[in-house]
Amino acid sequence: MELKEFDYNLPEELIAQVPIKNRDESRLLVLDRKKQKMEDKIFRDIIDYLEPGDCIVRNNTKLNVFVEFHSLTGYRNKYSKSIA
């Protein structure tokens, strides 16, 4: 297996800009391998798919926000923040 096999196109408009207010309402994609079927669920449904001994991997990647301000009077400012 090669790293390039994991490359895929992700349109920018589908990339989260801020965390969802209620984290348990975030999207969850479920794959049923036997039926070869995918379903869109919400994260709080994950308990319906876990079995004893299953392992959950948490992605704690931070979202980096960068904004640059320009005013008509020439004022400039930059804002940067990491959101967990």
Q: Which amino acid is at 12?
A: E
- pTM here is 0.49
Dig out the tokens for 69 from the structure: 């301000």
pLDDT by position in tens, the chain (length 84): 788 888 888 888 887 778 888 988 998 989 888 899 999 999 999 999 888 888 888 777 776 666 666 666 777 776 666 665
- Can you tell me the distance from the alpha carbon of 79 to that of 81, in angstroms, rounded to the nearest whole number? 7
- Can you tell me the distance from the alpha carbon of 58 to that of 24, in angstroms, rounded to the nearest whole number? 14
- Can you tell me the distance from the alpha carbon of 83 to that of 68, in angstroms, rounded to the nearest whole number? 17
Find the radius of gyration of the CA atoms of the chain. 19
Dmax over Cα atoms in the chain, in whole Å?
Answer: 63
